[in-house]
Structure 1
Amino acid sequence: MTERSTKTFIGAFVLGAVALLVAFILLLGSGTLGGKNPTFVLYFNTSLKGLIQGSPVYFKGIRIGKVNSIQIQPALDGTKFQTPVVIEIEKNTATLLLEGGQESELFENTEVLNKLIFRGLRARLGITSILTGQLCVELDMMKNPSPADIATLRPYKGSPEIPTQLSPLDAALNTLENMPIQEILYDVMNSVKSVSSQFQSLDLAALVDSLRLTSDALRQQIDGFGPLRDGAGKAIDAYAGLAVSAKKNLQFTMRRMNEALTSIQAMTADTSRAMNEARSAMAEVKQTASDAGSIFSEDAAPVLEFSQTMLALRKAAQSLSDLATLLELKPNSLIFGRSQ
């Protein structure tokens, strides 16, 4: 083998090795060596300017994939276009722990994916760089997600669909786009013209005179309120004096009532004391009556003596009566005796 052919063979071998190395690096970077990464389709109802192939995909701020392709699907009548965006989720970036300690890709599990969509999993466009206007795809659990029916989701070439939601900026831009700006401007201009024409048709001199007359009448009315205000002030002063007098009278009356209550309380105490003394006197009278009853009973000695004394007195009185009768019949019986 000649020296020239040997150099050619060595050069071809080196080029083949470099090509194989580049292909290996590309395959390794694409993730096809360890198995194909799962893909999903997104349908955005807004402009995709700034979103390119290879744009990052984030889930809760963590990069988990990239944009694989952006397609255009026009309708048959050509009046409506769909732009399916196919994203690729890198393996081992979002895993799910199953029973038994096994792990599974989070977005490859159809049941878990449907639950996440039902609970608010949505995709929206985000801004990667304000200067360049480059966009990215953000996956997140939205608090107020747009309604989505899992049964009506449209897969694209075997890639399941993840519902989308407009970002606040896109929603504001869509609102502005849907607003009839031109009609609103026309209405404002017509309103300004109508107001201007009405001002031009006004008789400003008559209006100024009318305003002057009205102000003069109001001034007269206000001046007429002066006596009324003074009378009201006097009445208020009189009512204030009456209130002060009533307050004094009320205080005097309350003081007299307190004194009367004090006197009544003192009288009540005296009455209570008198009642107690009367109860003591009654008790003594009862005791005296009881003692008198015991003294003047029929079996008591004084009563017996009194009875005997009364009998003796009765006998003496009878004797005196007999003596008086005898003296009346026979006056000389004191001298000569009863037999004479």
Structure 2
Amino acid sequence: MEPKAHHVIIGLFTVTAFAAALGFALWLGKSTADRDWAYYEIGFDHPVSGLSEGNPVLYSGVQIGDVVEMKLDPQDPSHVRVLIRVDQQIPIRENTRAGLVLANITGSMSIQFSGGSPDSPALKGDRQNPPLIMAKPSAFDSLLANGEDLLQKADSLLANANRMFSDQNTENLTIILANTREATDALLAQRDYLDALLERLDSAGKRAGEAAVKVAMVSDNANAILQNEGRAALTSLDEALQTLQATSSRIDRLTRENEGAMDSGLQGMGELAPALRELRSTLRNLNQFTRRLGEDPTRTLWGGETMKELSQ
């Protein structure tokens, strides 16, 4: 009787545990079924390799739903439409961005939401009319899409590198390096001569600078002379010309006033003619001095050929 009682107790305990587990599973399933979901359609204009139904949907790394259905766009088969469901309590807004992220090292992909400012309107949708959100290609998507092009470019680069390092090019490069070394050795051998040449060039440059300073000093002195003594000489010359002009005017007036007397006596005329010749000679010498002073004021004022008086 005792073994039979133990079997009854064990059987009763097993049935009770199974009934409890079944009740918990039914409750959990009912809770999941009763959960409120919001449905959205994610549009991809690039391949979605690694994404499949049941894969998680993340928001900033936290799972908020899963992929329900995947299909091609009937209007453009190169586009993919993915139906997802998200916990209705998670706000998906108009400026929320969607994209693919790598879920694990096996290549499985997940959909991830990011962004979405609180002031942006919320998107509401159900399974019959889910709002469309266009996914933005990520850097990883671009890498996968352009992987074939990258491999082709890498292969082309390796082929070009092999052609560049061919036997002929290698030999030419060796010759160029040898010539470069010979030229370097020749320059090193002439180092003392080059140093001396550079020193002479530096000395010549210094002397040229000193000469330029001296020329500038001479030019400044000449300018000072012209500004001071030359101006005084020109002033004196102007005064002399004014005096001569006044004298000439007086002589002309006297000639007009005594024209009758001069016509009546040859003696007075004979005395006036030498004076006129002397005046004409003086004016001629003065004109020559003025012309030379305009052409070379320094030489005229401070030395040079003296003016020769021209005789009539």
Pairwise TM-score range, normalised by the shorter structure = 0.3 to 0.5
TM-score, scaled relative to structure 2? 0.44
In the superposition, the TM-score normalised over structure 1's length comes to: 0.41
Larger Rg: 1
